[in-house]
Amino acid sequence: MTTSIDRPPEPQTSGPRPHAPLLRHRGLVRLTHWLHAVFLAGMIGSGLQIYTAYAHIGYHGDTFGVPNPFDGTRMALPRQVLLGGWLAGGLRWHFVLAWPFVLTGLAYVLFLAFSGEWRALLFRPRDVPGAVQMGRYYLRVRRDHPPQGKHNALQKSAYSFVLVLAVVSVLSGFALAKPIQLSWLTALFGGYEWARYWHFVAVWAFTAFIVVHVIAVLASDPASLRAIITGRYRGRHTAGG
């Protein structure tokens, strides 16, 4: 017979377990993220359908100084990457998908504003030293991973920049869709052709960011991919949820 003195102490169950997954992304964030992925894929496909109808950027005889290998040609892209079937179909899909894309983006921005999570994403001057150290780590100059919160300084700079690209993409898109009704907005971009140019640059810079973003996640932090699906993150470098 054993007494209470002889029994080994029972493990404590209160408090967070070590290495327990952290809540990183709430439901609304995950929902808007994946809806954006679907809407953006459709807008890229329909945008390519529109672009193939007229591959020139700029006024006739002027390219705005941007080299375009497809200028003056009929682009022959695989049907699998196009949406709409022809110019009018591409325009219709592009305009239809633009509204849910904007509304889900607005829902996400409002969530960031009211929840206070914008602080974890916004790049500020005080983040410059951290961005330099993260750059040194990625370049293998620094061995140990710099301390970080939910996002490191380079990630915050990228997310802040891509938000600007998204705003320019949306506004220039509306300037192209409604050049008469929103003549002031079209004029703000320098006219219809310049609005088309800025839309083209912003959208493809946005797309390039997505490609780099996906590659970086898969190569350096696969736990981030699971987190945007399940909401929970179990990684090596994050100090907070």
* Nearest Cα residue to 162 out of 218, 116, 105, 113: 105
Give pTM, 2 decimals: 0.73
Using a pLDDT cut of 70, give the percent of the chain over it.
Answer: 79
CA within 13 Å, CB half, 240: 8
The pLDDT tens digits of the residues spanning 6-37 come to: 544 454 444 444 456 676 777 788 888 899 88
3-class state of residue 126 by DSSP: helix
Per-domain boundaries in the chain: 25-115, 121-233
C-alpha separations of 112 from 106, 107, 154, 230 in Å: 10, 9, 19, 19
The pLDDT tens digits of the residues spanning 150-170 come to: 777 777 887 888 888 889 999
- What 208-211 contacts at long range (C-beta under 8 Å, 24+ apart), as own/partner pairs, is 209/158, 209/161, 209/162, 209/165, 210/40
Higher pLDDT, 73 or 18: 73
